Amino acid sequence: MFPEFTLRYARLPERFFERFDPVSVPAPRLVAFNRPLAEALGFDLDAFDEARAAEWFSGNALPEGAEPVAQAYAGHQFGHFNPRLGDGRAVLLGEVVDRDGRLRDIQLKGAGMTPFSRGADGRSPLGPVLREYLVSEAMHRLGVPTTRALAAVTTGERVFRRVPEPGGVLTRVAASHLRVGTFQYFAARDDVEAVRTLADLAIERHYPELQGLEEGERYLALLEAVAGRQAALVAKWMGLGFIHGVMNTDNCAVSGETIDYGPCAFMEAYSPTTVFSSIDEQGRYAYRNQPWLAQWNLARFAETLLPLLDADQERAIERATAVIEAFVPCHEAERLALFRAKLGLVQEEEGDRELAETLLEAMEAGRADFTLAFRRLSEAVEEDAPALLERFESDGALRAWLPRWRERLAREAAGAGEIAARMNAVNPLYIPRNHQVERMIAAAAEQDDFGPFEALREVLADPFTEQPGREAYAEPAPATEKVFRTFCGT
Ligand code: AMP
Ligand code: MG
């Protein structure tokens, strides 16, 4: 039933990882399994056996051909460099070739203490496992590049955080787990050969079109390509009100996928300074800072590549700096294109950025829910719609803006119906609302009730389509359930 492994990372030199077998858990139980993803990965589901799957996805049994390793990496956490982080509780089983011919990492997260655990327990509570499962799958359906969730198990063991909680293991699927921090690990050890190996691996797996370039150009092209993917990725986050919460360099994947869902959250009332994470005391990773932090992370990535860019270090720095500086206009162009689409615009005009910004200001002034304000805008293409206005506590600025927007829409070569339809295809109705996620976690972790998990999973599988009877899932939190702080809890 398990697809065949094509080992790639475990074939790198030994200093890239520590071999490590997952530590057994007492009573594994499969609580979530992603059948469509399993099919895409080449699992034979006719032979699906739940008890066996629970053994595999908890790490109690190894599927044939797996060679588990904990990957070495370093990272800047909240700006401070740690030269040795690594997989403290995750284990890469190996890679498989999916139905589209792409190599995919299969990793267990919460698989026990590894040589990188630094005194921590190597485990994960069930709550963060389910959060990552649900939010990463929702992100995928929302059109955001992301790692995926294949399975979740409970372990039958308690883990101790603020209080004892049931333990869980997540099976994560990724284009790769190469992080900026992976490059930093070797750069910090002046191991240029290892950095080159990683760069070649990143090109092979994520940017094969660069393979033909001459060596002098290839690594600069890699930096540019990674910058391009990060620019687009963060634009997507911004377009959804998504706040990652821990954009440390070890949580920045060179594939351009969103990775490591910790205290992540979706903003409700629009406010660009929004921060959720309890450990982000300075607001470093606030909503509006995300593009600049992505750029900061890229600068750290560029530093690791310097020896590969040019034999002349001055020249290498010059070339890398030009790429890092180009990140800002590149990201802004991505973000503008996305907000244009959110406003129903296809043509490009000078004033579009200002038009989008003015709407955001109106949302901030009106404390409007970011997701629903955009969603309901499609009902106001021709005339003011109560469904939109009611989302604003004060709607003066919005009312002043709407006629300007309609004037602009009049220059689009499309009718009102078509404009509304294309807006609804990019402005979701359903996102993983923080309070719904918290409720889901409480039910699963405290009552062993996975009903709310299943219900949320179904709603979020189709985020752009109105689902009759599920209106409540589209609504922001009631006053008593508003989430202001999120915790890694990992
Ligand atoms: P994260 O906050 O999940 O991005 O993790 C940052 C670092 O801490 C990584 O090196 C993790 O492997 C490590 N880590 C996080 N939680 C644990 C844990 N429960 N046990 C061991 N290592 C952990
Ligand atoms: Mg991490």
Best residue among 17, 89, 248 to mutate for probing ligand 1's pocket (most ligand atoms within 8 Å of CB) is 89
Give 119's contacts (C-beta < 8 A, 6+ positions apart): none
For β-strands 103-109 and 75-77, DSSP reports them as unpaired
Relative to the CA of 123, which ligand 1 atom is closest? Answer: 19
Ligand with the closest atom to the CA of 72: 1
Ligand 1 midpoint to CA 117 (Å):
7
Task: Name which residue sits closest to atom 11 of ligand 1, judged by CA.
Answer: 88
The pLDDT > 70 percentage for the chain reads 100
Tokens of residue 158, six digits:
């308690």
Q: Angle 435-438-439 (CA atoms, 0-180°, nearest 5)?
A: 85
Ligand 1 midpoint to CA 341 (Å):
38
Instruction: Name residue 237's amino acid.
Output: W
Ligand with the closest atom to the CA of 245: 1
pLDDT at 483: 87
Which contacts of 117-122 are long-range, i.e. CB under 8 A and separated by 24 or more positions?
A: 117/88, 117/89, 118/88, 120/88, 120/89, 121/89, 121/159, 121/160, 122/23, 122/88, 122/89
Ligand with the closest atom to the CA of 82: 1
Ligand 1 midpoint to CA 120 (Å):
8
Sole residue written with tokens 């995928």? 140
pLDDT at 1: 86
Ligand 1 midpoint to CA 75 (Å):
12
pLDDT at 372: 98
pLDDT tens per residue, range 11-25? 999 999 999 999 999
pLDDT tens per residue, range 94-105? 999 999 999 999
Is-contact 490 165, C-beta < 8 A?
no
Beta bridge partners of 104: 96
Ligand with the closest atom to the CA of 74: 1
Relative to the CA of 119, which ligand 1 atom is closest? Answer: 21
Task: Name which residue sits closest to atom 12 of ligand 1, judged by CA.
Answer: 88
Residue 488 clears pLDDT 90, i.e. is over it: no
Tokens of residue 112, six digits:
């026990």
Q: Is residue 264 lining ligand 1, measured as CB closer than 6 Å? A: no
DSSP code, position 101: S
- Collapsed DSSP state (helix, strand, coil) of residue 92: strand
Relative to the CA of 248, which ligand 1 atom is closest? Answer: 4
Ligand with the closest atom to the CA of 90: 1
Sole residue written with tokens 């691996």? 201
Task: Name which residue sits closest to atom 18 of ligand 1, judged by CA.
Answer: 122
Mean pLDDT of 52-79: 98
Instruction: Report the Cα–Cα distance between both ends of the chain, in Å, rounded.
Output: 31
Q: Is residue 89 lining ligand 1, measured as CB closer than 6 Å? A: yes
Can you tell me the distance from the alpha carbon of 453 to that of 450, in angstroms, rounded to the nearest whole number?
Answer: 5
Mean pLDDT of 379-400: 97
Tokens of residue 202, six digits:
């990143």
DSSP code, position 441: H
pLDDT tens per residue, range 3-14? 999 999 999 999
Relative to the CA of 124, which ligand 1 atom is closest? Answer: 19
Can you tell me the distance from the alpha carbon of 18 to that of 88, in angstroms, rounded to the nearest whole number?
Answer: 11
Residue 252 clears pLDDT 80, i.e. is over it: yes
Q: Is residue 34 lining ligand 1, measured as CB closer than 6 Å? A: no
Give 444's contacts (C-beta < 8 A, 6+ positions apart): 31, 126, 127, 130, 450, 452, 453
Q: Is residue 352 lining ligand 1, measured as CB closer than 6 Å? A: no
pLDDT tens per residue, range 421-464? 999 999 999 999 999 999 999 999 999 999 999 999 999 999 99
Best residue among 77, 85, 158, 248 to mutate for probing ligand 1's pocket (most ligand atoms within 8 Å of CB) is 85
Can you tell me the distance from the alpha carbon of 284 to that of 373, in angstroms, rounded to the nearest whole number?
Answer: 26
Phi first, then psi: give them for residue 170, nearest 5 degrees.
-105, 135
Q: Is residue 179 lining ligand 1, measured as CB closer than 6 Å? A: no
Can you tell me the distance from the alpha carbon of 380 to that of 422, in angstroms, rounded to the nearest whole number?
Answer: 14
Ligand 2 midpoint to CA 64 (Å):
27
Give the count of beta carbons closer than 10 Å to the beta carbon of residue 411: 9
Beta bridge partners of 5: 96
pLDDT at 489: 66
DSSP-assigned states of every residue in 332-395: HHHHHHHHHHHTT--S--TTHHHHHHHHHHHHHHTT-BHHHHHHHHGGGSSS--HHHHTT-SS-
Q: Is residue 123 lining ligand 1, measured as CB closer than 6 Å? A: yes
Q: Is residue 85 lining ligand 1, measured as CB closer than 6 Å? A: yes
Can you tell me the distance from the alpha carbon of 230 to that of 233, in angstroms, rounded to the nearest whole number?
Answer: 5
Tokens of residue 434, six digits:
């923080």
Is-contact 252 260, C-beta < 8 A?
no
Can you tell me the distance from the alpha carbon of 116 to that of 91, in angstroms, rounded to the nearest whole number?
Answer: 11
Q: Is residue 87 lining ligand 1, measured as CB closer than 6 Å? A: yes
pLDDT tens per residue, range 127-181? 999 999 999 999 999 999 999 999 999 999 999 998 999 999 999 999 999 999 9
Residue 216 confidence class, pLDDT cut points 50, 70, 90: confident
Q: Is residue 114 lining ligand 1, measured as CB closer than 6 Å? A: no
Length of the chain equals 490
Can you tell me the distance from the alpha carbon of 319 to that of 45, in angstroms, rounded to the nearest whole number?
Answer: 50
Query: Catalytic positions, please?
Result: 250
Task: Name which residue sits closest to atom 23 of ligand 1, judged by CA.
Answer: 88
Q: Is residue 121 lining ligand 1, measured as CB closer than 6 Å? A: yes
Ligand 1 midpoint to CA 86 (Å):
8
Give 265's contacts (C-beta < 8 A, 6+ positions apart): 242, 243, 245, 276, 277, 434, 483, 486
Q: Is residue 278 lining ligand 1, measured as CB closer than 6 Å? A: no
DSSP code, position 479: G
Q: Is residue 436 lining ligand 1, measured as CB closer than 6 Å? A: no
**H and E: helices and strands count for the chain:** 15, 12
Can you tell me the distance from the alpha carbon of 184 to that of 301, in angstroms, rounded to the nearest whole number?
Answer: 7
Tokens of residue 208, six digits:
């094969």
pLDDT tens per residue, range 26-46? 999 999 999 999 999 999 999
